[in-house]
Structure 1
Amino acid sequence: MVEDVVSLARGWIGTPYQHQASTKGVACDCLGLIRGIWRERYGAEPEAPPSYTPDWGEGGGHEVLMEAALRHLVPVAREDAMRPGDVLLFRMRAGAVAKHLGILCEAGEAPRFIHAYNAHGVIDSPLTTPWQNRIAGRFRFP
């Protein structure tokens, strides 16, 4: 099952970035990538996301993405090894709400992740130490 998550994520590489979009090959944002993979695996999404701004309500401090991840994905303990297919939830700066998502595609000494990034679209990136330090939570598809 894990392999299919990575394979599905790789199928989105090259999709242009567009806020709130979720259509493979057309446009998506980081949440749209996760939503699209969910639809490819399970069919209908478990809930419709609310309208959201690019800052994900940073000013209010409400953990919208974290709460949604806890409702629909399986949390992974910090001490558990990262494995391909893990959904990564990031805080873009210390003390901020978590507002970016990606899929781990390679673990080990040179980890990589697939994510939709503003001005880049869906890309495969090194999970460098600065990115690793931003991980607020890890999850797996049920």
Structure 2
Amino acid sequence: MTLHDEIGEARVRERLLVEARTWINTPWHHRARVKGAGVDCAQFVNAVYHTVLGTDLIEIDYPPDHFLHRSEEQLVTQLERQANCVPLALPGDVVVYRFGRAMSHAGLVVDWPRIIHAYRLEGGVVFGNGTGGNLAERERQFYRWKGF
């Protein structure tokens, strides 16, 4: 029996967002995953899902500028192992954005277009507008954990 079976999808989504909020103001740091000390966007998503569901969604090795030099969709390939691409986002779903040559930025949907993400340009984990600012015109996709 999974957590989803025990408490239902809405409660799992609520727990994901409660955990995500505990990361607010954690500074941005490439490949880090320490609440309050440093995290990047992929590791933020991993940390939240791991805490609530016991699973990492993204298992890739990536240099800080990978999106400038590589076209391989490593982030999407990893997400698709445990998540399905969906047309509309629900709270707790993952949103990914194209930066440079590949989908290379991830965050969690609070209530679309409101998101929580670890964003270098804003200094760390923040609430953001998923359709505004530097994210406004970027290609994006939504992913939903296959356990829902």
Q: Which residue of 1 aligns with 2:33?
A: 22
Q: What stretches of structure 2 of length at least 5 have no aligned partner?
A: 1-11
CA contact (8 A) 1:23 1:32 kept: no
Match of 1:70, SS? Answer: helix
- TM-score, length basis structure 1: 0.81
Q: Which residue of 2 aligns with 1:86?
A: 93
- What is the total number of aligned residue pairs between the two structures? 133
CA shift in 2, pair 1:134/1:45, >3 Å: same
The Cα offsets for residues 90-130 of structure 1, whole Å up to 9 and x where unpaired, read as 0025xx200000111123xxx21100011511000122346
Q: Which residue of 1 aligns with 2:131?
A: 128
Q: Which portions of structure 1, spanning 4 or more consecutive aligned residues, are displaced by more than 6 angstroms?
A: none
CA contact (8 A) 1:56 1:64 kept: no
Instruction: Report the AA paired with residue 43 of structure 1.
Output: G
CA contact (8 A) 2:119 2:126 kept: yes
CA contact (8 A) 2:57 2:79 kept: no
Match of 2:66, SS? Answer: coil
Q: Which residue of 1 aligns with 2:116?
A: 114
Question: Could you say what the CA RMSD is over the residues aligned between the two structures, in angstroms?
Answer: 2.1
Instruction: Report the AA paired with residue 14 of structure 1.
Output: N
Query: Given the alignment, which residue of 90, 99, 102 partners 2:104?
Result: 99
Q: Distance in 2 between matches of 1:112 and 1:44?
A: 24
> Whose helix fraction is larger, Structure 1's or Structure 2's?
2
Match of 2:65, SS? Answer: coil
CA contact (8 A) 1:88 1:135 kept: no
Q: 2:37 matched to 1:37?
A: no
Among the aligned pairs, what percent are the same residue? 29
